[in-house]
Every structure is written in C-alpha cells, then in structure tokens.
Chains A and B, each alone.
Chain A
Amino acid sequence: MPDVSVGKASDFADPGRKVVDISGTEIGVFRLGDDFFAYHNICPHLDGPACQGKILPCATEDVQPDGTSMGRVFSKTQMNIICPWHGYEFDIRTGKHPTDGRARLRPVNVSVRDGEVYVNVPAR
C-alpha cells in the first residue's frame, strides 16, 4: 500500500494527534515534540476507538525513599492516549499499557518528509 499524507507536521499540536479513516482503515497519528507515532485505532481490550480519546500525562504514585506515598502525580515525561470506551491507557511512545505491556496498540509506520507526515497503510 502507498504512503498516505495525513497533513503537515506543523499542523499537529504538541502534544497532538490526528485520527484518519483511510478507505476503512483507521489510524491515529500522534506528535510528541519532534517525534511522530502512529497506531491502528483499535483498542486491544474490546476494539474501542483508542486513538480518539483524551491525551494526558501518565499518573504515577509519588513514593518516597522511606516507603511513604505522597499521593498521585502526573509524569513529566510520559504522555498517554486513553481509550474513551473504558479508559485503557497507552504510552504514546511505545503503544503499551503502563501496567501490563502485553496490552498494546498495533503500530503503523509513520514518517515525516519535507514537513509532511505520511503513514504507510497496511493491506487489510
């Protein structure tokens, strides 16, 4: 299948995303800084539209060296895409669920050439 343009890199917010349906194949393309990532818009849980959900930093537990917890804080480095059907979260850089990496989004090849973002649409 050909590479398909999904728009200019500069049109993506940071962090940001665009989800496209290309002849029936749904793909979510994400931008984090200068990096782009793309996944099928199908959640490994129950096939929900995972890429169309909220983007939020990963929640972490702020555990001190003495074992006490200061509660939950957002990660400064990890952004997640969250499936709107039931809330499964996936690290945008790896596509993996933070608790069980066996649950992961299926990656799609993405590239940026001359300021344009392309995804390689897999054969269905």
Chain B
Amino acid sequence: MPLETSPRAGNIRELPEITVASDTRDYLAHAAKQALKYDDYELIVDMDAHLQEGGFWGEIIGLLENDVLKQTAEEMMRGRGGMPLINMQPGMSFQSMSGRVPHQSGPQEKTDDPAISGHRFVQIVRRTMDAMGCDYQVIFPTSMLHLGMNPMEDIEIYLARAYCRWLSEVIMPQDKRIIGLAYLPFNTPDECEKLVKQYADNPQIVGFTVCAVRHKPVHSNQYMRLYRMIEETGKPLIFHAGPHWDDPSFSQLNRFISMHALSFVHYNLIHMTNWVINALPERFPKLKTVWVESGLAWIPFLMQRLDHEVMMRQNEAPGLKRLPSEYMKEMFYSSQPMERNNLELLQATFKAINAETQLLYSSDWPHWDFDPPSSITTLPFLGDQAKRNILGLNAAKVFNLPVKRLRPRAADFLAQEAERHR
C-alpha cells in the first residue's frame, strides 16, 4: 500500500472541537454542504428560530417603558448578571446536556465590528441562514417563552413591548431576511390588542405569537375581540409551545428529557383542545393558526381522540359542524422536532395533517434538538413539490412573503468558507 508520509499541504486541514465559542458557520458546515442538494428550491423559510436573549438582555431591558421595572432590572443586572425579571430557574437549565450540545449555551462566538457588519445578533442570524440555506428566519424568543407563568403580569406586558421594539427598531431594519412576531402578553388581553394595532402594518412583523406555556383558556370570551383583530390583519396567530417543569403533574418527572418530551406537547394539546371543542375555527374562519414546536406525533393522536369523543358527546361541542380532525387539517404546523424514528408512522402523520399544504419547515436553531432543512429533503416518501412547499412555499402563503430568492448560492457560500479558512 503506498504511503503518503507527509500529506500535501493544503489538502489536509485540522477541524477543531466544536465548542460554545465556535463560529456558527463552522458549527453548521455540514448543513452548508447539504444545502447544495436543495439549492434550486425557490424559497426556504425557517419559521421558528430563536434569539438567546441572555446575550442581549441589557439592550432589551434598556427599552422597558416602565421606569420602576427598568431600574429594578438594571440594578439586578449590575449585581448578579443573569436575566432579571425572567421566571426561569437558572440551576435547572439542562438544555445543553451539560455542554454536550454547546450551541444551546451561546452565542459566544466572535463577530465583526458592528459599525461595519451590523448588530451582533444580525451577524449571527445571517451566518445561520447562509449556512443552512434559508431565505428567511422567523425569530422567536427563548427565555421569554415562560413569561406566561410569571405571577407579575406587568413584567410580561412591559417585556413584550420592549422585545417587540428591540426586534422591530434595532434588529429587523438591518436585514429584511430577519422577520419576527409580536409577542402577545396573553395574560392581559387589552395589552395584546394594543400590540396588534401597533404592528398590524409592519411588514417584518409577520404574525402574532402566544407563548403557550400558561394556564389561560384560549376560548375565554375576553379574547374574542383580539382574535377578530388578528383575523382582520390577515396575519397568523401562532401558538409556540415550551417546557415548564413546575407544572404540578410534571413535578413527578425526574429527568429533563421526560419533562421536555411531554411539556411541549402538553400545552399545545390543551390549547388546541379548547380551540377546537369551542369551535373557534367556526367563529373566526379566516384566522390562520400555526402550532409550533410540539413535533408532529401529537396531532394524529388528538385528531383521533377528539373525533371519537365528539361523536358521542355532541352536546358539549355544539359549535362544530364537522369533525375536529377536519378543522385541524386546515391549520398549520411547524415541523420541528420531527419524530423520524418510525418513517411509516411519520408518513401516516403527514397524510393525516395534509402536510403538503399545511406543514412549515422550522429549525428551532440554536436549540439542542434543532432540525436542518435536510430533515425534510431526505424524507423518502415525500415528492419534490411537497418538499418545496414544506420548506418555503407554504410559509410564503401563511406569512404573505414574496417567493423571491434572497439567500446566497450554496456553492458561493462554500467557496467563501473555504476562503475564510485559508
């Protein structure tokens, strides 16, 4: 066997360990190679990517419109750092699996001079979109997903407003590929209505989100005016699930994995059940709803369960003119975290939810269970058109986005990367 004892310089490059300080482009280098395979797709929209607020909390706090909360938060930040006003227990954050999945703990990568390259977060999102081959990313918060359980209602209201301002005034003007949603402080319906009015005409605020970790019945009469207002904007209402270990039932679960697996599904199961059984799709037929980050397996379960019971207990769901599953088939769902271990079941799920027209690709980047676009392109049972729809064309309809390529060619991005590493 011929030996090459001194490999040719230039043909061999050492690849470093991926750490929390790694550049997003290095982290996602394999995704960039995968992007060559779907480079001819018209549009790729990642409908759920996350801001890790920790690195930017001082900026968001600075936009609080309540001087008492602002002084409190600034004082807390000076003392201990962290994320004042956020109701999460820092000692129970197991998302990164003790450092096994470092990107969950970022961003700690270096960015370029903001005066030339833009805000640090904008730079990082661009790196992500270019590496994965996305035209747009819809940004959601992370730690703020729990605010619905914060006992101080004013904190949710003022943080919602500050977050919306930071996104729409600081971040989004720097890049039209970054789009976002107005965070609705759902525990206070009047305040939600004010935000809907304020952002209805903002083209980069493409919808309104309810962070679903909360104990608020979505069918309550206090929300009907809000739903009507959102319906009239033509923008979607988006329920984003989340984890919450403090829910009494979940306190029996002794591992993060157990809580995480159930909690994300749990909140969307409850809100969807209330939404359907109270026949809200009949009352707001033009209101588009999107159910985010609960995976997909829960949907056929709930369809079957509700169909079965509605046939026996019609008197408790008299607003329904069709079976629950028929309404649910007309709603929209995000794809991540897509359960792929049993492809036969997944295929049946795709059929049950009309995935070809109702499913929207989402990465959930930079969270530990993110899905790259290849999670869709490599599905053996999907046709080419279905893949194109799920990866972008369905989102273009839901969010009223132009079908126009904004991302760089995958080959150009890879060439740039080769140059960066030279």
Interface residues of A (CB under 8 A from B): 2-6, 18-23, 26, 41-42, 46-49, 52-54, 56, 82, 84-87, 89, 116, 118, 120
Contact = CB atoms under 8 A, between A and B. Distances in A.
Contacts of B14: 18-21
Contacts of A48: 30
B187 interface: no
Given A20-B12, A86-B101, 4 more contacts: A18-B14, A21-B12, A53-B100, A84-B102
Contacts, number: 82
Interface stretch (B2-10, B76-84, B116-124, B274-282): B2-10
Given A4-B7, A5-B7, A48-B30, A21 B375 contact: no
A41 B15 contact: yes
A23 B11 contact: yes
Contacts of A26: 15
Nearest to B367: A86
Given A3-B1, A52-B18, A22 B7 contact: yes
Interface of B: 1-7, 11-18, 27, 29-30, 34, 97, 99-103, 368-372, 374-375
13 contacts: A2-B4, A3-B2, A4-B7, A4-B12, A5-B6, A19-B14, A46-B375, A53-B18, A84-B100, A84-B102, A86-B369, A86-B370, A87-B100
Contacts of B100: 53-54, 56, 82, 84, 87, 89
B30 A116 contact: no
A2 B101 contact: no
A102 to B, nearest CB: 11
B37 to A, nearest CB: 11
Given A84-B103, A87-B100, A21 B3 contact: no
Given A3-B1, A84-B103, A87-B100, A49 B18 contact: yes
Contacts of A116: 5
A28 B337 CA distance: 28
B5 A20 contact: no
A87 B15 contact: no
A4 B7 CA distance: 6
A25 B13 CA distance: 10
Contact of A46 (B99, B101, B371): B371
Contacts of B4: 2-5
